């Protein structure tokens, strides 16, 4: 059974050395085998233990009794005309998660999932509507990078330069696995901490945990409104961790030094795009030296909301700029392949995932 075996990708780099080191001693194998194994794990070429071909066969068999290296299976790959590609991965228990590769002029960014589904229920988000299935393990998070890296290389694409936790799920609701995966991506695979961004809707305890880390991982906060009442309508978590508490946590994050905060602001027509909100957002952002990304809303099947018009987005941006706040308008990427958060999975799950919605857009439990 796979269940009682240790997943090599779920162990952090230090634990990998210790656990495998102990195992090698038990097996009376030389200690340098641990280096060989780590090379296979972080070099990323072996898809499983039998493929670690410079380890003696007997040792591979013994390792296979105790350990497993699990990569997800490719359920579907979609390619956008703009070069963006999206993987739908099938996990060992059949759950589906997505990751997206986004090439830009000088980068290749990988967007990864941290949960199958999401429990946060944000009203503008397809993943939120699809509900929560389960947390991903550290190994399942790391494996998206490992498998995508190999896939990109085979496609002749450049190396993955940046990783964002902006796929499905709320990473800071799954802190244990996410924290281990951050260490592995940084120390094991050598992706610079400043090239890794964790995106959260505002899970305060998780933000404080991330603040304590010595590495300079970046933090993106999905703000979407500087007004608590409006934010509650978009993000149910606002009730549990309201803006003043969130802002305080972000101050602590800044105070920890050398870290950078970005606000993500999804612009929904006539919902949160009033320039008066931009002025309040500017005050929040300026106080935290945060950069603001303005993202046109990507329509979802569950609400009839539309993206703000380009003109409206530009005037919103001007208010921010006039107040000295750094800001960018993020182009939607991969729209032809539903590359926005959660949409492909929802489609693949079919009608099952469609919730019943009543008049004011709230989900009913039946
Ligand atoms: N749960 C985390 C990370 C995953 S969501 C978070 O919410 O931050 C990644 C980003 O996609 C978030 O900024 C989220 O607000 C945004 N997003 C979700 N649905 C969207 C949609 N329909 N259109 C545009 N952006 C969306
Ligand atoms: Fe979850 Fe983020 Fe979607 Fe909200 S926006 S439902 S937190 S994935």
Predicted confidence pLDDT, tens digits, the chain (366 residues) = 456 899 999 999 999 999 999 999 999 999 999 999 999 999 978 999 999 999 999 999 999 999 999 999 999 999 988 899 999 999 999 999 999 999 988 999 999 999 999 999 999 999 999 899 999 999 999 999 999 999 999 999 999 999 999 999 999 999 999 999 999 999 999 999 999 999 999 999 999 999 999 999 999 999 999 999 999 999 999 999 999 999 999 999 999 987 889 999 999 999 999 999 999 999 999 999 999 999 999 999 889 999 999 999 999 999 999 999 999 998 877 777 776 655 545 554 443 333 333 333 344 333
302 lines ligand 1 (CB under 6 A): no
Question: Do 51 and 37 contact (CB within 8 A), yes or no?
Answer: no
At residue 139, what are phi and psi to the nearest 5 degrees? -65, -40
Look at residue 358 in the predicted model and tell me its pLDDT. Answer: 32
Taken as a whole, the chain contains a residue count of 366
> Counting Cβ atoms within 10 Å, is residue 212 exposed (0-12), middle (13-18) or buried (19+)?
exposed
Look at residue 340 in the predicted model and tell me its pLDDT. Answer: 60
Look at residue 279 in the predicted model and tell me its pLDDT. Answer: 98
Q: Is 331 left (phi over 0), alpha (psi -120 to 50) or beta?
A: beta
16 lines ligand 1 (CB under 6 A): no
What is the Cα–Cα distance from 154 to 202, expressed in whole angstroms? 37
Look at residue 354 in the predicted model and tell me its pLDDT. Answer: 35
CATH code linked to domain 6-68 = 1.10.150.530
12 lines ligand 2 (CB under 6 A): no
120 lines ligand 2 (CB under 6 A): yes
The pick from 86, 164, 178, 199 for probing ligand 1's pocket by mutation, whose C-beta has the most ligand atoms within 8 angstroms, reads 199
- For residue 7, the CA-to-ligand 2 centroid distance in Å is 27
Look at residue 331 in the predicted model and tell me its pLDDT. Answer: 80
For 47, which DSSP code?
S
Look at residue 356 in the predicted model and tell me its pLDDT. Answer: 32
The pTM assigned to this predicted structure is: 0.93
- For residue 222, the CA-to-ligand 1 centroid distance in Å is 7
What is the Cα–Cα distance from 120 to 200, expressed in whole angstroms? 11
Architecture of domain 73-348: Alpha-Beta Barrel (3.20)
The domain segmentation of the chain, as residue ranges, is 6-68, 73-348
Which residue among 71, 98, 140, 264 is the active-site one? 98
- For residue 125, the CA-to-ligand 1 centroid distance in Å is 6
Look at residue 118 in the predicted model and tell me its pLDDT. Answer: 95
Q: Whose CA is nearest to atom 14 of ligand 1?
A: 222
What is the Cα–Cα distance from 308 to 357, expressed in whole angstroms? 23
Instruction: Look at the alpha carbons of 253, 255, 256, 258 in this order and tell me if their dihedral is positive or negative.
Output: positive
Look at residue 345 in the predicted model and tell me its pLDDT. Answer: 52
Tokens of 109: 């960014």
Clarify whether 125 is annotated catalytic.
Answer: no
Clarify whether 341 is annotated catalytic.
Answer: yes
Look at residue 188 in the predicted model and tell me its pLDDT. Answer: 97
């Amino acid at each position: 059974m796979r269940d009682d075996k240790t997943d090599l990708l779920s162990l952090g780099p230090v634990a990998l050395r210790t656990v495998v080191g102990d195992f090698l001693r038990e097996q009376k194998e030389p200690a340098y085998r641990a280096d060989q194994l780590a090379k296979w794990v972080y070099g990323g070429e072996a898809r499983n233990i039998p493929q670690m071909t410079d380890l003696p066969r007997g040792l591979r068999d013994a390792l296979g009794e105790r350990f497993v290296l699990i990569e997800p299976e490719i359920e579907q790959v979609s390619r956008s005309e703009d070069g963006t590609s999206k993987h739908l991965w099938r996990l060992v228990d059949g759950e589906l998660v997505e990751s997206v590769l986004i090439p830009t002029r000088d980068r290749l960014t990988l967007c990864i999932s941290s949960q199958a589904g999401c429990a946060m229920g944000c009203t503008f988000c397809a993943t939120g509507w699809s509900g929560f299935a389960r947390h991903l393990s550290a190994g399942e998070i790391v494996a998206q990078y490992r498998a995508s890296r190999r896939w990109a290389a085979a496609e002749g694409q450049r190396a993955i330069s940046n990783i964002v936790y902006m796929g499905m799920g709320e990473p800071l609701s799954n802190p244990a696995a996410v924290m281990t995966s951050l260490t592995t991506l940084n120390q094991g695979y050598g992706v610079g901490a400043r090239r890794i961004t964790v995106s959260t809707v505002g899970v305060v305890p998780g933000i404080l945990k991330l603040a304590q880390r010595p590495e300079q991982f970046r933090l993106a906060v999905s703000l979407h409104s500087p007004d608590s009442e409006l934010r509650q309508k978009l993000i149910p978590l606002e009730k549990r961790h309201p803006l003043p508490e969130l802002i305080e946590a972000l101050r602590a994050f800044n105070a920890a030094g050398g870290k950078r905060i970005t606000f993500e602001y999804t612009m929904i027509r006539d919902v949160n795009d009033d320039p008066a909100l931009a002025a309040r957002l500017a005050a929040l952002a300026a106080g935290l030296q945060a950069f603001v990304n303005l993202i046109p809303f990507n329509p979802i099947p569950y609400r009839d909301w539309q993206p703000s018009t380009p003109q409206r987005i530009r005037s919103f941006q001007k208010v921010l700029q006039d107040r000295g706040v750094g800001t960018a308008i993020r182009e939607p990427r991969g729209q032809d392949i539903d590359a926005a958060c959660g949409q492909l999975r929802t489609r693949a799950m079919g009608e099952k995932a469609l919730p019943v919605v009543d008049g004011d857009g709230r989900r009913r439990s039946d």
